[in-house]
Chain A
Amino acid sequence: MTPIQWGILASVLTLAVVVAAAAVLLYDVLNAIIAFATFSFGVAITWILFAAPDVALTEAAVGAGITTTLLLVTIARTVRQSGDRLLEKVDPRAALTAILFTGLLATTVDNLPAIGSPQSPIATSPITSYYIENAYPETGVENAVTAVLAAYRGFDTLGEATVVIAAGLAVLVILQQEAYA
């Protein structure tokens, strides 16, 4: 990555951490939802910088777009607590647990391969080179991610599609409705 990309990455990640903390701490749910959408947007840009446009597109569309809308329409139908308070009262035990867990995860960061490192397990794995070499000749699909999703891991994707349908049915059951529209 170029220094400019490193700069963008650093600022976007800082933004993501700040708005994630804001989403947790803000008292008004509406503010928290907006902060959460901003967090997703920052993460989406991070994925672009990591050269993963498929994931970035998903994160931007689902995380920043649809999830925000669904959460907004949900608080419109439920009770929204809002008052003069800006920040949520923090439970010290929950905060301690969160900090300890974050610290635990932070100890593993040292073992991650450097960004873009050719020695990272995902780059040296024979499976990766198999897909890179054979995805196009075998499937005729230029986007290897799509080839893996729909062809090599087609059965997994069928499972995912089933999960989506199940979510659609579950909301009908829970809200006791009979039709979507």
Chain B
Amino acid sequence: MSNNADTASDTDTRAESINNPTYVESTIIMTTVRLVVPFIFTFGLFVMFHGADSAGGGFQGGVIVASTVLLLAFAFGIDATRRWIEGPLIRTAIATGGGLFILIGLGALINGQFLEYAAYDIGTTGIKYGIELVELGIGAIVSGVLIGLFFTLARGDMLTEGDIDQRSSQEQHGSDRS
């Protein structure tokens, strides 16, 4: 089992290989991913931004953008990628996307119905920009959720052995009492 955390202590390395039982470093995959990822990422953004005038939109573009992070995780290891993307980025993307969608919908209430872009009264171009913004919001939601799903599934159940022991002993107590 190869592992690129050279400086990690013994226990860290062990924890990592437990967390990441399938990662094998491969020069071919790493090189390919490094070459291909910028283009896939750009294509994803294009599909997201250009969804109004060509095939695609927020859902498809978001999925393609998320797939670049998944490719990086396959090439460089899930834990290395997790450390790179760690922090509030994913949940911020999801919340911003959802908030943007709802705010655009609510903003139209001033002058019309919910999500009625024409209520902003800035012509057809304005309607188009409203639609584009909603698509970007959807893209942020979808890419954030998919990246989140991947890392959450990759980590698996967070219960540590101690938790499981505690839980089973609690169940034991419960059955003893009854």
> Which of A's residues lie within 8 Å of B, judged by CB?
53-54, 56-58, 61-62, 65-66, 69-70, 73-74, 76-77, 137-143, 145-147, 149-151, 154-155, 157-158, 160-162, 164-165, 167-168, 171-172, 175-181
**Alpha-carbon separation in the docked complex, A164 to B94 (Å):** 10
**B residues neighboring A (CB under 8 Å):** 21-22, 47, 51-57, 59-60, 63-64, 66-67, 70, 74, 78, 82, 85-87, 89-91, 94, 97-98, 101-102, 105, 114-115, 117-118, 124-125, 127-128, 131, 134-135, 137-138, 141-142, 144-159
- Tell me if A's interface is mostly helix, strand, loop or mixed: helix
Residues of B within 8 Å of A137, CB to CB, are 124
CA distance A179 to B98 in the complex (A): 18
- Measured between beta carbons, the chain A residues less than 8 angstroms from B78 are 73
Shortest beta-carbon distance, A89 to chain B, in Å? 27
Given contacts A61-B63, A73-B150, A77-B154, contact A165 B86 (CB under 8 A): no
**A180 CB contact (under 8 Å) in B51, B52, B152:** B152
A162: chain B residues at CB < 8 Å are: 98
Q: Is the CB of A165 within 8 A of B141?
A: yes
Q: When chains A and B are docked, how far (Å) is the Cα of A151 from the Cα of B70?
A: 31
Pick from A54, A77, A139: contact of B153, CB below 8 A. Answer: A77
Instruction: Find out whether the CB atom of B55 lies under 8 angstroms from the CB atom of A66.
Output: no
Residue pair B154, A164 in contact (C-beta under 8 Å): no
Q: Are A66 and B146 in contact (CB under 8 A)?
A: yes
Which residue in chain B gives the minimum CB-CB distance to A71? B153
Chain A residues with CB under 8 Å of B98's CB are 161-162, 165
A140 adjacent to B128 (CB under 8 Å): yes
Q: Which residue of A lies closest to B134 (CB)?
A: A150
Asked whether B105 lies within 8 Å of A180 as measured between CB atoms, the reply is: no
Q: Determine the chain B residues whose CB is within 8 A of the CB of A143 once the complex forms.
A: 51-55, 57
Contact of B53 with A164 in the complex, beta carbons under 8 Å: no
CB-based contact A151/B21 at 8 Å: no
A70 to chain B, nearest CB (A): 6
- Distance in angstroms from B98 CB to nearest chain A CB is 6
Of the listed residues A142, A147, A151, A161, the one surrounded by the most CB atoms of chain B closer than 10 A to its CB is: A161
